[in-house]
Amino acid sequence: MGDALIVERQGRVATLINDDAPRNRMTLEFMDELEVAIAELAEDDSVGALVIRGAGDEHFSVGMDLKQLPAGIERMGGPDAIFDQRLRVIAAIESMPKPVIATLYGYCLGGGLEVPLGCHFRLAAAEGAKIGLPELDLGTVPAWGGTARLTRCVGRDAALDMILRARKISGPEALRIGLVHQVWPNDELQQRAQELARELASMPSLAVKGVLRCVLGAGDATLEEALAEERRWVHETFGSPDQIEGMRAFLEKRPPRFHAE
- pLDDT tens by residue, the chain, 261 residues: 678 999 999 999 999 999 999 999 999 999 999 999 999 999 999 999 999 999 999 999 999 988 888 888 888 888 899 999 999 999 999 999 999 999 999 999 999 999 999 999 999 999 999 999 999 999 999 999 999 999 999 999 999 999 999 999 999 999 999 999 999 999 999 999 999 999 999 999 999 999 999 999 988 899 999 999 999 999 999 999 999 999 999 999 999 999 644
What is residue 40's predicted lDDT score, i.e. its pLDDT?
A: 97
Contact yes or no for 237/229 (Cβ under 8 A): no
Taking the C-alpha atoms of residue 31 and residue 18, their distance in angstroms, rounded to an integer, is 9
Domain of residue 72, residue span:
5-201
> Are residue 110 and residue 209 in the same domain, yes or no?
no
Which one of 180, 201, 222 terminates a domain? 201
Tell the burial category of 255 from Cβ atoms under 10 Å away from its Cβ (0-12, 13-18, 19+): exposed
> Are residue 226 and residue 135 in the same domain, yes or no?
no
Beta bridge partners of 109: 132
> Are residue 184 and residue 212 in the same domain, yes or no?
no
Residue 138 placed within a domain: yes
Taking the CA atoms of 140, 143, 147 and 150 in sequence, report the sign of the dihedral they define: negative
> Are residue 230 and residue 108 in the same domain, yes or no?
no
What is residue 63's predicted lDDT score, i.e. its pLDDT?
A: 95
> Are residue 134 and residue 219 in the same domain, yes or no?
no
The answer for residues whose C-beta is within 8 angstroms of residue 174's C-beta and 6 or more apart is 104, 122, 124, 129, 131, 180, 183
What is residue 260's predicted lDDT score, i.e. its pLDDT?
A: 43
φ, ψ (nearest 5 deg) of residue 19: -90, 65
> Are residue 111 and residue 231 in the same domain, yes or no?
no
> Are residue 103 and residue 213 in the same domain, yes or no?
no
Taking the C-alpha atoms of residue 64 and residue 181, their distance in angstroms, rounded to an integer, is 25
Residue 260 placed within a domain: no
> Are residue 196 and residue 209 in the same domain, yes or no?
no
Residue 134 placed within a domain: yes
> Are residue 189 and residue 74 in the same domain, yes or no?
yes
User: How many domains are there within the chain?
Assistant: 2
> Are residue 210 and residue 174 in the same domain, yes or no?
no
Residue 256 placed within a domain: no
Q: How far is CA 42 from CA 92, 97, 112, 156, 210, in A?
A: 9, 7, 22, 32, 14
What is residue 1's predicted lDDT score, i.e. its pLDDT?
A: 60
What is residue 224's predicted lDDT score, i.e. its pLDDT?
A: 94
What is residue 261's predicted lDDT score, i.e. its pLDDT?
A: 41
Taking the C-alpha atoms of residue 253 and residue 88, their distance in angstroms, rounded to an integer, is 44
> Are residue 241 and residue 154 in the same domain, yes or no?
no
